[in-house]
Structure 1
Amino acid sequence: MDVNSQFLSRTLAILSLSLFSTWSHARTDTELTSLSFETLEGMSLSELLELDVITPSRTKQRLIDSPANITVITQLQITQRGYNNLVEVLQDIPGFDFSTYEDGGGEYPTHSANRGVGGGPGNPKLLVLLDGVVQNHIAFNWSQLWGEENIFADLDRIEIIQGPGSAAYGANAFSGVIHFITKKQVSMTSSSLDVIAGQNNTRSITFTHHGQFKNININAALKHYTTQGDQGDRYDPQGYFSGHEWPQMQTQAYVDGNYQTDVNHPSAGELMPGGFNTEKNIWALRGNVSYFSPEEENRLQGISKLSAGAYLWDKEEGLASYVPNYEYQSWLDTFKSHHTGKHLYFDLDYRINQKFLSKTRTWYRENRQKPETAFRYTYQFSELTKSYHSFNSQVGLEEQIEWRHNDESALVLGFRVMQSDKMNQIAFLGNMQQGHDAITSSSWLHATQGENKRLGAVETQAVDVVNEQALYAIYDSTLSARWNYSLGLRYDKSDDFGSTLNPRVAFIYKMPTKLFEQLNLKFLYGQAFREPSIFELTDEFRGNNELKPEEISTYEVIMQGSWLDDKVSWLDGMSFNASVFYSDMSDLITLVPLDGLNGDSGSVYANTEQHKVLGYSFSSDLRFTSQFKSYVNYHFNEGDNGNGYSGINNSASHKFNLGLNYDSDDYNIDIRMNYVGDRTVHPANGYFEHVAPSYTKFNLKVSGKTFSVSGLNMRPSLQIENLFDAQYYGVGRQDGSSDETEYDVLTNPNPAGFIPAYHPQPGRQIYLKLSVSL
């Protein structure tokens, strides 16, 4: 047994004994859960609707009064449900659907649609923020922080908006906004350590610290996550990853340094290994130091907040089920992507007077695609590595003035200026390259195209310096005692795509009723845009520098409220959110074929089709007793490309989620169910007959009580994902065009299409966790 296996076995044994032995120990006075946990647990569902949120209007307001369809995931929910990453969170939210999951789609591993919008590589139609700093890739627009490179232990909450958000946040807030908000002000100094061990030599260690010195708050979090993965040992009904025979010939190869076609394959007659690389090695570090004025509530003038923060992450992982192994050698350790990101920011909040507050932010961001991002083809250049790298950076300044007339009325005026260095990825062929500069020592382009094909030719990639400016205004106020309204308008201008103007309008009616504690009716309208990425604009074969931003208009009606009836003995209370929406999109950026040409080089990005989506959803939180609570939600959507409403490609029309939580003095049990209905597949997907089948899966977390050892408070837990080991999969990440039956070792080593019809998902996964309060 190797050292890693011994570590895993011992850790599992220790945590198992801890988990099941602690239920016999006396309850300690000091619980691992913080005061905020206790406060949240004690709040009624009606009071939870009054939690303050900041994302919809960029200023503090009650959740139920906010002009948006917003869901808040608290740190208590993260802890009880065992959420470790954003994919796990959004699978429980109505409207989010996945065609690939965390390790299914190559460099951009997650493909999700939000209320029928999105689903493309990297989810560029969804904006991700961390404490107000944009996390989408600077050049490629991919939304990021979906996986273990994010840290959940130091979060205060996650605010999730479904619907356009460009009036407040500009580009890429197309289908919605995900905002991670970390803890800033703390009431006491504390440190914690979370250790997770599980199957496939999965290990995770997260350390957090929250400190206070007078009016200075210090928060820090460090995480390391590693797993060997299951190497693709999953349900694979068509056999995309099941060990095919190597082809007899290579379509292209270098022999003794010379380019040749149709040459004998060195592995002809042998079987390829099965499976695909699911290894991960990830670390992340973030922290902030903040000063808060002790007299902010009554202060008439002066600094109210100073804050500086940083976040760094490094993510190296297998490219997994991105392609079948008769296309790429998907089982190799070198079949992987390597990306890093960082940002630094400085905030200054200055109170001009009792009604005016100035908020200034400066930041620096980076995205690096490391040259370890690489793979080897099966049917060509099988002994050479194709790899990519890129480097992108951004600096920005944002100034916001907030005028608060009273508790009900606020005006936000702001402007933003940014400069970004955007570099498209540059491809290499040979042995592994080094560095991240806009140059490669052995160009893929020169090795495969032109009359003088050769290895070792230098290629330089242009760096696009893009300047962007924005102006915005948001005004929230009241029309009467029962009517609130919100108006927003934002102007964005970019060197890449010109200018765009995006408004929003919301009216909120506080309905008079004797049946409900609170009942609001929201009427929302908003517009948004998604800017073209550097790849779409400048790719050598498919780029189109005339692309316009994609646009969306969404109309939505929401009923939101809470209910309490002392006459119903089995139900303490209920909160609910019901929504009907209609989205109209234009100038969508898609690949279209060029006349007379085939293949990737015969396609070009263009603004083409118009698309409409109609849907509705219902969600409810229920509290049966002080110990037993539940949530349930349902979502439906269909789309229209001009041929009538029907299912949306790679997305389910029906999705249903259910969660149950029981919390006692001795343990907490949380079980969650996800039902995803039949999913319409892309017409190019030949494996399914128009639809991929539905699936249902369950997740379980059981937490023991907190116990004390040598002054340390510890709480063990057991987490099982896919409890009943359902065989399920995501569907083809773009089109599912690869057909395994077309592969022939003699006559067709490179069949048309390279995206598999489905992406196998892991079976049952068991993890043990020990949380230690230091």
Structure 2
Amino acid sequence: MITVEADPTFSKKKTLIISLFCMLLLVLNTSAHAGKESFEMMLELPLKELMQLEVTTPSSTPQKLEDAPGTTLVITKKQIEERGYVNLLDLLQDLPGVDVNQKSIEEFFNQVALRGNVGNNKIIIMQDGMRISSPTGEPIPVSYNFPLFHAKQVEVAFGPVSAVYGADAFTGVINIITENAKEIDGLKMSVTAGSDDYYHNYFNYGKSITPDIDLKFGGHWQSSQDPDLSNTYKREFQNVDVLDTSNNLFRAAADREAFVAGTNSHSAYLDLELYKKLKFGFTRSFLSHPTTVGVKPEKTIFDKDADWNTLMQTYRAELKSSFADNLSGQTKLSYSTYYTLPSTKFTNNFANFNAFKFARGRRWQLNHQLDYKINENHQLTTGFVIQSFNSIPKTTDLPSEYDTDKESGEQGLFHIGTDNTLPIQFFEQDFQNYGLFVQTQSKWNDWFSSFAGFRFDYDSRFDSTINPRVGVIFKHNNQTNLKFMYSEAFLAPATNLAFGHFGTFKGTTDGQGRYQSDFFKLPNPNLGPEKTRTFDVNLTHKFNSNLIFRSDFYYSTVEDQIAVVSGASNSEFISGGIITSTNINDNIGRLEIFGADATIEQAFSWKNSRLNYWLSYSWVDGTLEKLGGETSKLPITAKNKIKAGLTYTYKDDYFVTPRLIWVDETNHFVEDRREKVSSYALLNLHLGVRNIFENSKDWQAFSAYLTITNLANVKYFNAGGGSNSFGSSPQDPRRFFLGIRKSFN
């Protein structure tokens, strides 16, 4: 077993879990029977209001959180600010039921699993109801490229939501709801600097130009050299020889280069709303992260230009219509693009230490939604979606950058190591999808309501599918909510999973004149979709206006789970070449997942002070049963997780938030690695002061804040993602970030 500093034994972990839950039960018991007088002294606090928040993500229509189908969590603007969440990944790390493994894999940097089902491509990320993640379903990095500086709240709907959003809404939907122009009402700016040459800046502007015209726009830019992990993890980053795939020396240890692993990102958005009916918008996000991340030093060269560069853009127009008091509609037209930019470069041994990548996805989408309010207690929503896609899947290793001014068939590129004789094939794809959805929501009386719906999709690659979602909600005394839901989802494999490939030739030929290669990842055009079914039970109980308990229980199955498997030996897939060993993506079997989350939140207030705390425990388990009967555990998932924190605020101007994350042993991504990634506890701290110069007319709304990540400076690891990677990928040591924020009205 791989160990880290202060690795707890099983008994210590069990004791920690039992102790925390004893504490939780004690708090519940004490609070439930506390004298009424103690709460009469409290001010009105946000927990009661939290359940009354309006959300749109679960059903794509506005409704109270307590009435929304399934399990949805809402993180407010104030929580984002007081907890120090800069981007979406920061927020996800604190949520129950979420596994985040950072610096984990070369292509998409970090890996996210919701409720034991790993895959950045299985989550739809939206902004104000419009998708801003990859339009063609590629796994993408989730990091600085999804900032939260403009967020009013973030809604996270867990479980399959394909009945509303179609393919890709497999494990959940995340919707970043931005502030409107009136709420911004001016200009907000922030500047942050930190350890390892970290810089992060943003601006956000919004105004009602006239009573009928609202404008808002903003953006961020970030750069960082990131910590030199070779200074902290000397055993993992020893000066060693670099070897090619045949274990031949490429660079001697004495000639090794310095460690580099910088990141940079930027984003921009713009929204123009006319007469509260017509809206035009634009979003753009870019992230550059190192392709050497998590790779063993004997397998790669550390190069400042070895980056994976992801760019996504969406242009949209929306029209709201009102046909009657009880009948309204919304029409959306959007055009989205995704690029793995031509400058993307690999310097590992699979790429012969110098190779480029390219991928492109485009989508046109038209959707129309009609909302019919039958009466006060019954509502019907229906609509259709038309989508047209074009995709150039992730290319093989290219000897030079892809020329975006030429069509894919005009590139004139040849496989590395073939002396410009074996041409590279590009698997450009065109396909369409047509969807129709219907859903109903009914309140039968004060204590019972129901919802039901389905979505029919026809994908030109995989024929048709129907994904239902049904459920009921029970309420008791306006204190207890109990939800039962069954839902299904269909995940069409992204073209890069079916056709993405990589590898190089050695420059030598065999007796038949065929160029030789030790290894290639090959396309699998027969790769099929995944299908999931989930049963979900959600219980929320409000002991009083300041104490809330939530729990979720779920059981999911995934048929035709996609994973990497060994392919043919001595393959002649590339004409004129012979490849000794290969692997492919394939549908390998059935995944079964069962788990539970429990969360308690409580707020106290006295005089000028306020204290909020939260504590959650997550448990998930399951098996992957392969077609041959072999079984394995859930990849990239920890069975037990505890996440906790508290925010203390004084006079609503001074605040401090420590946050604790404890993660149990985590299963590896590569199944033949029997050892696990060791458990760890991570403490982060965020503190700040608002309105520093409250008596100054010119410097009101000036704030400052300090963030310290990994406060205890522990060595810890996250699960790695490939055969060239660390099984346990080293993580950042302690880092400091200091920032200021100013509003101009």
TM-score, normalization: structure 1? 0.81
Determine the structure 1 residue equivalent to 2:622: 639
Q: Distance in 2 between matches of 1:621 and 1:173?
A: 28
Indicate the residue corresponding to 1:63 in structure 2.
Answer: 65
Q: 1:386 aligns with which of 349, 355, 369?
A: 355
Q: What is the percent sequence identity of the aligned residues?
A: 22
Alpha-carbon offset, residue 445 of structure 1: 5.4
The verdict on how the C-alpha distance between 1:620 and 1:486 changes in structure 2, with shifts beyond 3 A counting, is same
- Alignment partner, residue 486 of structure 2: 525
Q: Which moved more, 1:704-713 or 1:480-489?
A: 704-713
* Pair 1:316–1:646, CA change in 2 (3 A): closer
Measured in 2, the distance between the counterparts of 1:312 and 1:415 equals 26
Paired residues of 2:351 and 2:397 also in contact (CA < 8 A): no
What's the secondary structure of 2:125's corresponding residue? Answer: strand
- Residue deviations 1:641-667, cap 9 Å, x none? 358998523311100011111111251
Match among 674, 679, 682 for residue 697 of structure 1: 682
Contact 1:715 1:771 in 2 (8 A): yes
Q: Give 5+ residue unaligned stretches, structure 2.
A: 1-42, 502-520, 572-578
CA distance in 1, matches of 2:552, 2:245: 54
Q: Matches of 2:158 and 2:351 in 1, distance apart?
A: 44
The answer to whether the Cα contact below 8 Å between 1:594 and 1:603 also exists between their aligned partners in 2 is yes
Determine the structure 2 residue equivalent to 1:149. Answer: 145
| Distance in 2 separating the partners of 1:421 and 1:430 | 24
Letter in 1 for 2:131: V
Q: How does 1:86-485 map to 2 (within 5 A)?
A: 86-98=88-100, 100-101=101-102, 103-118=103-118, 120=119, 123-143=120-140, 146-187=142-183, 189-212=185-208, 213-233=210-230, 235-236=232-233, 238-239=235-236, 241-247=237-243, 265=250, 267-268=251-252, 270-273=254-257, 275=259, 277-293=260-276, 305-329=277-301, 331-378=302-349, 381-382=352-353, 385-427=354-396, 429-430=398-399, 434-435=403-404, 437-439=406-408, 446-448=415-417, 453-455=418-420, 459=424, 461-485=426-450
Match for residue 509 of structure 1? 474
> What is the CA-CA distance between 1:405 and the residue it aligns to?
2.5
- AA aligned opposite 1:551: K
1:674 paired to 2:661:
yes
Conserved in 1, the CA contact under 8 Å of 2:104 and 2:720? no
| Residue range with higher mean Cα deviation, 397-406 or 133-142 | 133-142
CA distance in 2, matches of 1:306, 1:618: 42
1:18 alignment partner in structure 2: none
Tell me, in whole angstroms, the C-alpha distance in 2 between the residues paired with 1:379 and 1:184.
Answer: 48
Contact 1:488–1:505 (CA<8 Å) still a contact in 2? yes
* Cα drift, residue 431 of structure 1: 5.1
With normalisation by structure 2, the TM-score equals 0.84
Q: Give the AA of the match of 2:429.
A: D
Map 1:645-660 → 2, pairs under 5 A: 648-660=634-646
> Following TM superposition, by how much is the alpha carbon of 1:228 offset from its aligned partner in structure 2, in angstroms?
1.7
Indicate how the Cα distance of structure 1 residues 594 and 117 shifts in structure 2: closer, same or farther if over 3 A, else same.
Answer: same
1:742 aligned residue: none
What SS does the corresponding residue of 1:317 show, helix, strand or coil? strand
Q: Measure the CA separation in 2 of the matches of 1:590 and 1:192.
A: 45
SS, match of residue 293 in structure 2 = helix
Name the counterpart of 1:715: 703
For 1:379 and 1:197, locate their aligned partners in 2 and report how far apart those are by CA, in whole Å: 36
Q: 1:217 to 1:407 in 2, by over 3 A?
A: farther
User: Partners in 1 of 2:440 and 2:227 — Cα distance?
Assistant: 52
Question: Is it true that 1:766 corresponds to 2:736 in the alignment?
Answer: yes
What is the alpha-carbon distance in structure 1 between the residues aligned to residue 529 and residue 401 of structure 2? 36
- State yes or no: 1:614 paired with 2:614: no
Tell me the equivalent position of 2:512: none
Q: 1:71 to 1:544 in 2, by over 3 A?
A: same
> Structure 1, residues 458-494: CA drift from partner, whole Å, max 9, x if none?
6452421111110001110123331100001001111
- SS of 1:707's partner is coil
The separation in 2 between residues aligned to 1:471 and 1:234, in whole angstroms, is 55
Deviation digits for residues 648-695 of structure 1 (CA, Å, limit 9, x no counterpart): 233111000111111112511111100101223357565xx6322210
How far residue 521 of structure 1 moved from its aligned partner, in angstroms, is 0.7
Q: Does 1:552 align with 2:495?
A: no
Distance 2:738 2:253 in 1: 44
SS in 1 for 2:498: helix
CA shift in 2, pair 1:124/1:524, >3 Å: same
Contact 2:624 2:634 in 1 (8 A): no
Contact 1:438 1:461 survives alignment (8 Å): no
Q: Is the 8 A contact 1:287 1:311 kept in 2?
A: yes
Q: Distance in 1 between matches of 2:338 and 2:300?
A: 26
Maintained 8 Å contact 1:335/1:376:
yes
Instruction: Note if contact 1:368-1:436 (Cα within 8 Å) is conserved in structure 2.
Output: no
CA shift for structure 1 position 60 = 0.8
Match of 1:9 in 2: none
CA RMSD of aligned residues (A): 2.6
Is the deviation greater in 134-143 or in 489-498?
134-143
Distance 1:587 1:531 in 2: 11
Aligned partner of 2:11 in structure 1 is none
1:661–1:668 contact (8 Å) kept in structure 2: yes
Distance 1:639 1:246, change over 3 A: closer
> What is the rounded CA distance, in whole Å, between the counterparts of 1:721 and 1:408 in structure 2?
48
